[in-house]
């Protein structure tokens, strides 16, 4: 079988796992802002990023966000798709680029940590710009929620990064066959 076809099939499998994870696992981190829900969707995307590179990670992100956004997370609509693409693309680009040039445990830790920080910072800005438009609220309302928004993004990205770190080496053999 063609190597590109096999790679595409493996990437499709990672998207499917991501969608299934969101379907079964999603819950609010802070009850005060229940719409900010944790889900493990980014774990398969990060695993795919480490296996196939940062551009593949962005492609996995876009495909997953769109499918998730029209199925299991349809309530968040276009807004959810946009925010998912921005957040996860930031994470996979930063973590994936660092790991691509330093494929060691240390490189993975540094990449994931930098990716989590980048995600959090980018999402503070994205929420200040995009959320008032989609939610129809003044920027000041979003700013008042910023401790929850920043905390949510840091926790969600951090948990997914830690789980990815713990799982990647166990799964990478299958993905590289």
Task: Annotate 53-85 with b (16+ C-beta within 10 A) or e (fewer).
Answer: bbebbbbbbbbbbebbbeebbeebeeebbbbbb
Cβ–Cβ under 8 Å, residues 85 and 65: yes
Residues 6+ positions from 139 with CB-CB distance below 8 Å: 128, 132
Q: Is residue 34 part of a domain?
A: no
Report pLDDT for 33.
86
- Using left for φ > 0, alpha for ψ between -120 and 50, and beta otherwise, residue 106 falls in alpha
- Helix H or strand E encompassing 10: helix 3-24
Rg (CA), the chain: 16
Percent of residues, the chain, with pLDDT higher than 70: 99
Q: Residue 53 half-sphere exposure, CB side, CA atoms within 13 Å?
A: 5
Q: Which domain holds residue 112?
A: 3-28+39-176
Q: Is residue 116 part of a domain?
A: yes
Q: Is residue 100 part of a domain?
A: yes
**Interval 15-24: pLDDT, tens:** 999 999 999 9
CATH, residue 85:
1.10.1760.20
**Interval 117-140: pLDDT, tens:** 999 999 999 999 999 999 999 999
For residue 35, what pLDDT band results from cuts at 50, 70 and 90? confident
Q: Is residue 63 part of a domain?
A: yes
Q: Is residue 155 part of a domain?
A: yes
- Of residues 172 and 83, more confidence is placed in 83
The number of folded domains in the chain is 1
Token digits for 123? 């999402």
Asked whether the predicted pLDDT for residue 1 surpasses 80, the reply is no
Q: Is residue 159 part of a domain?
A: yes
**Interval 68-113: pLDDT, tens:** 999 988 888 899 999 999 999 999 999 999 999 999 999 999 999 9
Which whole number is the average pLDDT over 35-56? Answer: 96
Question: Rounded to two decimals, what is the model's pTM?
Answer: 0.94
Query: Can you tell me the distance from the alpha carbon of 58 to that of 66, in angstroms, rounded to the nearest whole number?
Result: 12
Which whole number is the average pLDDT over 145-152? Answer: 96
Report pLDDT for 41.
96
Query: Can you tell me the distance from the alpha carbon of 45 to that of 81, in angstroms, rounded to the nearest whole number?
Result: 15
- Using left for φ > 0, alpha for ψ between -120 and 50, and beta otherwise, residue 136 falls in left
Report pLDDT for 32.
86
Q: Is residue 45 part of a domain?
A: yes
Q: Is residue 33 part of a domain?
A: no
**How many Cβ atoms are within 10 Å of 87's Cβ, its own excluded?**
23
């Amino acid at each position: 079988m063609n190597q590109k076809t096999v790679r595409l099939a493996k990437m499709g499998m990672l998207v499917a796992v991501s969608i299934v994870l969101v379907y079964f696992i999603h819950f609010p981190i802070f009850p005060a802002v229940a719409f900010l829900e944790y889900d493990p969707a980014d774990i398969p995307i990060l695993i795919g990023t480490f296996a196939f590179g940062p551009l593949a990670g962005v492609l996995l992100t876009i495909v997953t966000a769109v499918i998730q956004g029209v199925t299991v997370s349809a309530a968040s609509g276009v807004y959810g798709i946009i925010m998912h693409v921005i957040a996860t693309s930031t994470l996979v680009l930063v973590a994936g680029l660092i790991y691509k040039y330093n494929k060691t445990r240390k490189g993975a830790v540094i990449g994931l940590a930098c990716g989590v920080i980048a995600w959090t910072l980018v999402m503070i800005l994205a929420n200040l710009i995009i959320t008032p438009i989609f939610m129809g609220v003044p920027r000041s309302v979003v700013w008042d929620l910023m401790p929850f928004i920043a905390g949510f993004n840091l926790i969600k990205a951090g948990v997914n990064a830690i789980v990815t770190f713990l799982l990647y080496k166990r799964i990478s053999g299958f993905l590289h066959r």
